[in-house]
Structure 1
Amino acid sequence: MLREYIVDPNSYCRNIDSLQRFLSDFGTENGRVIVSLSNRWEREQQDAIKASGIQLTTLERRKCFDRLKYLAKTSVVFAGSIPSELTEWVDRAKFAQERLGIGAIISSAATLGANNKFDYTNFLHFQPPSWHLEKDATSPRKAEDMANTIKNSLRLASVGLFVDPYFDPAKIEYRRPLNSFVTNIVSGRVACKKVFIHTVEDREKGRSKKELRQWMEELVHPELPAGFCIELWIWPSQLIHDRFILTKNVGYQFGHGWQESGNEMHVNISRLTEQARDREFKKFSNSGPRQGDPIVIVGT
């Protein structure tokens, strides 16, 4: 539900139409993120646009640069260290693609060759496979299947927020998906060492804070990778209704929850708009409504 692309700024700086298309094509809300070959992505795009000769009014330039800033914040991921002797963009792109397994490079550079390289100037003919990603997917309610559906997003996560008012660490149908999600997070490119679980108390069903702490310590803690931290926050029940998995890049809503089920029912997983993701991420990053101190466990 999320794909990575390396994008050559020269491929979209040919004219204003290409520039407009680039600004609207990319973004996590469209399921497309950009792999940056340096930690100066936003400035490099600005410089490329300024040097392109594209005539922009003051208002157009401001909107363009605001969109670049937004993309840099939500939809750009760093490729990591690239050998300093690779100074040409083409060589750096090839290296990153091979090392990281990036699906496609968007460029018109002839020296890139034909292997998973796509010319942005002629997408009627040169278009990457699965370019158009649906925002909804269905998955069997099995831990591995649900984790695989959002695998790319988890592996790019620097932090994860798991929201479910019914989360019950005493039940294997909740612990097994949590383990699968965490496995994908820790195997990713980003050194993510922490996730948050947001839920509510239900004392009538054995989910008081005391019991939640007990099951987190006795059942979840032994399964955590060494050094990996989970904070469980308890919220007022009236403030949590839906089930989400949220990162700083992308968010998903799980229609029937992210716990396993033994029946044949599938779960609908919807990629949130950026506005919805940002709203929910900010909501659940605010400790104000939290009831008491969090329950914290760290793998050993």
Structure 2
Amino acid sequence: MHSEYAVEPAAIGADWETFRYLIEKFGFDKGRLISRMPRRWERKVIAAAKEAGISDVRMTSLVDRLRNSSKNRVADFGRGYDPENSWIANALEQHAERPFRAIITTTTEQTCAEVIAPDLCDEDNDLISAPISCDVPRTVDAISTALLPLAATATDIDIVDPYFELRPLGQDFVGPLAALLSKLAANGCAGKTIRIHWHTHVSRPTPQDLAIVAPGLTKGIIPQGFVLQLFEWDEIAGGEDFHDRYVLGDCGGIMVGAGLSAVGPQENATFSLLADRHAATLRQRFTAGSSVYRLVGQAIELRDDGSATLI
């Protein structure tokens, strides 16, 4: 769903025009993400720009752009980095272990087919072209893998599916959720809050009753430091229908066609990337005081120690 690119700080920071041209190629809504390699990638870009002699005015714009948009463009994929080696040596080593979509660098040495120069990063280049929608098999692994880049980068995540069910009633919603949480923990992500939003129905237990059984339904799937919050919503008369499914974070969002339950490889769900501002607007529908939907009862908070609290 999202392609990972290794972008050399010295290459993107070589001059203002190169920086402006390259930085706009990346973002969650574009399907292309810059790998945080090294960990302080933005600082390396700034240092390279200063060394290149970019003017103070342009430096201010460059720093502001990095500060305000890195959350939407740069993602930590858990890459190793040896500061004793050159950037390109690190990139090639990581590429051999887990391939990037492309390595963008100013090196003049053709080290592999995926190495490209900054001025070749146009939409006609197959290594740069990235789909913003695709069909994802409705399996536990495929769904969780497609959601991982967004979930790993977001501070907290909103999972919106009107039919989401913790109870084993024929559809497996817990499997993809558990796999996503496991992959987040394996990726070294610190504790996150995952909010799950579903539609009210007469067949659903009350929040008080669900708080009693929910710890058993989620036993062993919540990593240390993570929190699950469960919200039940109703439509407001004359207002928006509650039908669409999303996974939303503070860095972007994905619209999910057929739903977030795993039913098997014979079916696909269409995953489509949302524009950043659209994703932020959709998140507001599922917050306290929302005028789009009405919260039913109290939310439930589940923690890694098996406790459940009405909030």
Give the structure-2-normalised TM-score: 0.75
Give the match for residue 201 of structure 1: 200
Count of residue pairs brought into register by the alignment: 293
When residues 120 and 84 of structure 1 are mapped into structure 2, their CA distance, relative to the original with a 3 A threshold, is closer
1:146 to 143, 146, 160: 143
Q: CA deviation at 1:282?
A: 5.4
Q: CA deviation at 1:22?
A: 0.4
When residues 12 and 148 of structure 1 are mapped into structure 2, their CA distance, relative to the original with a 3 A threshold, is closer
Give the match for residue 45 of structure 1: 45
Deviations 1:103-149 (A, max 9, x none): 4321021357225322223347x9563x2222111234343333344
Question: Normalized per residue, which structure has more strand?
Answer: 2
Give the share of equivalent positions with the same residue, in percent: 21
Separation in 2 of the partners of 1:84 and 1:63?
A: 28
Asked whether the 8 Å contact 2:71–2:153 carries over to 1, the reply is no
Give the match for residue 294 of structure 1: 300
Query: Which secondary structure state, in structure 2, belongs to the residue aligned with residue 198 of structure 1?
Result: strand
Asked whether the 8 Å contact 2:152–2:184 carries over to 1, the reply is yes
Give the match for residue 7 of structure 1: 7
Separation in 1 of the partners of 2:44 and 2:285?
A: 33
Query: Can you give the 5+ residue segments of structure 1 that lack an aligned partner in the other structure?
Result: none
Separation in 2 of the partners of 1:192 and 1:207?
A: 28
Give the match for residue 169 of structure 1: 166
Deviations 1:66-103 (A, max 9, x none): 332233222213456634433x3334434554566544
Give the structure-1-normalised TM-score: 0.78
Separation in 2 of the partners of 1:22 and 1:50?
A: 17
Query: Which secondary structure state, in structure 1, belongs to the residue aligned with residue 219 of structure 2?
Result: helix
Asked whether the 8 Å contact 1:94–1:112 carries over to 2, the reply is no
Query: Can you give the 5+ residue segments of structure 2 that lack an aligned partner in the other structure?
Result: 307-311
When residues 299 and 276 of structure 1 are mapped into structure 2, their CA distance, relative to the original with a 3 A threshold, is farther
Give the match for residue 273 of structure 1: 275
Q: CA deviation at 1:24?
A: 1.6
Is 1:254 matched up with 2:252?
no
Q: CA deviation at 1:265?
A: 5.6
Amino acid paired to 1:29: D
When residues 226 and 138 of structure 1 are mapped into structure 2, their CA distance, relative to the original with a 3 A threshold, is closer
